[in-house]
Amino acid sequence: MTYPRIKGCLAVLGLLLGCGTHTMAQTTPTPQWRPVYHFTPPQNWTNDPNGLFYQDGTFHLYYQHNPFENKWGHMSWGHATSKDLVHWQHLPVAIPERVTADTTTMIFSGCAVVDAANTSGFGTNGKAPVVAIFTAHLPKQKKECQYLAYSNDNGNTYTLYDHNPIIDLDMADFRDPNVFWYAPTKSWVMTVALVNEHQVRFYGSRDLKHWEKLSDFGPAGYTKNGWECPSLLHLPVAGSKEEKWVLLVSCFQDHGPLMQYYTGSFDGKQFHNDNPADKELVVDYGDAFYAAIAWRDAPQRNPILLGWIQNGRPETYPWKGQLSIPQDLSLYQSGEGLRLRHQPAARVVKALPRYTSGQPLVQYNPASHPVKDTTVTLPGNNGNAYWLTASFAVNGSSTAGFNVFENKQDGRRITVGYDAAKEELFVDCTASEKQNKSPENLVMRAPMKAVNGKVQIQILADRSSLEVFGNDGEQVISTMVYPAANDTGISMFTKSNAILKKLELRNIQL
C-alpha cells in the first residue's frame, strides 16, 4: 500500500509522483494520455489492484482509490467488472474509508475470495459469500492490522465483520494480505508483509476469521527497502505437467519500484526457496510495474497477473493511475533454472479483433517484402493506441527494433529494440522523456538471449502506457510515457544483418 511507502521513499517518489505535495494540482484535462485498453478509473486517484476474483463469467477488480480527489488519500476500494479483461464496467465504491469520532480507518490493499463451501458462515440462502480481507490503516493509532468484510450481493457491497481485527500485531507496517484455498490441508492460507523486517508471514485458517501463524519467509533477495504486496501462486511449468510455487514481493530500489519473485515449494505451512537467499529474480525491468496480484480462480491453468503502472510526471487529469495489461503467468526452464514468463493474457488477445476492426493495420509477408539493414516508416496511429508484434533473425552484432511515439521533425521518439551484442531487450526514452524521468530510468534494459538466432518483441502502446514483452514474456519492460499530440509516428530499424521475419500492427479502439 502507499502512505508508508511515500513517507519512506520521498527521494524516489519525488520523481515518480511528481512531488505532488509541492506542486499545484492539475486541473486541465489530459485526454491525450488517457489509455484506451488499459484500466483507469473514471476520475481521481488509483494505485494497487485489490481483491481479484472470478465468478459466473465475470472478472471482478477492486483497486486502491481516492473517491474525492486526484491524489493519494481517503483510501477505499473502487470496483469494476469485465467479461473480457479489456472493456470494464465501473461500479460504486465497494468498501469506503470509515471516519468516526474516534478514528479514521483507511482501506488499504488486500484480497477477496469466493467462499464456495461457506467456511466463514457468512453465506445466506445457500449462496457462497465473497469475503474480503484487507489492511486497515489507522493513522491515529499509528498501526496497521487485518480486517474482514463480507458480501452477499456478488461483491457489490460489504459488511464489516463485528470482531475485527482478525489479526493485530500492534505494528505500524504490517500489510497487504493475500489469501488462497490450500486443498491438501482443506484450509485457507494467507501471505502478509512484515514490511521493515523484509519478511512474508504465512497464516492458516479453517474459517477465514480465526488465524494462526504458520511460518515466516525472508529476508531474501533485495532487502534495501521494505517489502509489500506478497502473493504465493501455483504456476504451470511450460512443456510439462509439473507445477511449482512462486512467491511475488514488491519493494523499492534506488530509482523506482521493483517486483521480485522466488521459485520453490510449499508444504502447507512453509515456503522453501529453490535459489540462494541472495539471488534476485526480477518480474519487470521497467520503472513502473508494482503491487501485482492475480486472478487465481479463472477457468484456465494459468493465473492472470495484474499490476499498477506507477504514475510519473506530468500530472494527468481528471484521473491519476492506471493498471497493466492482464498477463498469463507460467514458468519455463532456462539454463539457470526455472524462470517466470508473463505475456498478455490469452483472453485479451482473443478479444482484440473486436477492438481492431478485425484486420491488422500492417501485416508483413517476408517472402514478398524482405527487410534488412534499413529503416522503414510504418503507418501511424493518431490515437497512439496500438499493439505491435514482430520477430527478427539476429546475429552477434545485430540491432533491431522500433521507434514509437515518434516525431521526426522535432527529433522525439522512444526506441524499443534488441541489442544482440549485449543480449539485451531495451527501451530508450532519452529523446523524449528527459523532463519526466530520472537519468537512471531513461534507458531500461532486460537481459535476454536470442532463441535459435531469433528474438520476438511485442509492443503495447496505449497513449501514456508502454509495455514491452520479449520472447513471449521471458522479459518485460513497463513504463509510463507522455508523448506530445503530434508524436504519433512509428518506424522500424534493422542493423548489422538483422532481418525482419514477422510484423503485425493493430490499432485499438474501444
Least Cα distance to 149 among 98, 201, 82 occurs for 98
Q: How far apart are CA 200 and CA 415, in angstroms?
A: 38
Strand partners, 191: 178, 202
Helix, strand, or coil here: 116? coil
Q: How far apart are CA 426 and CA 212, in angstroms?
A: 45
Cα-based distances in Å from 39 to 63, 253, 326: 10, 26, 10
Q: Which three cell numbers, joined as nine digits, stand for 161?
A: 465483520
* DSSP count for the chain of H helices, then E strands: 3, 36
Cα-based distances in Å from 248 to 276, 300, 343, 469: 16, 20, 16, 19
| Strand pairing report for 212-217 and 199-205 | antiparallel
Examine the residue annotation and report whether 48 is marked as an active-site residue of this protein: yes
Candidates 48, 176, 284, 297; catalytic one: 48
Amino acid at residue number 23: T
DSSP string, 56-91: TTEEEEEEEE-SS-SSS-S-EEEEEEESSSSSEEEE
Q: How far apart are CA 227 and CA 176, in angstroms?
A: 10
Helix, strand, or coil here: 248? strand
Half-sphere exposure of 463 (CA within 13 A, CB side): 16
With beta carbons less than 8 A apart as the criterion, state whether 261 and 245 touch: no
Q: How far apart are CA 390 and CA 298, in angstroms?
A: 29
Q: How far apart are CA 43 and CA 400, in angstroms?
A: 39
> What count of residues does the chain have?
510
What is the 3-state secondary structure of 309-361? ECCCCCCCCCEECEECCCEEEEEEEECCEEEEEEEECHHHHHHHHHHCCCCCC
**Torsion over CA: 23, 28, 29, 34 (sign):** negative
Burial of 92 by CB count in 10 Å (0-12 exposed, 13-18 middle, 19+ buried)? exposed
List the catalytic residues: 48
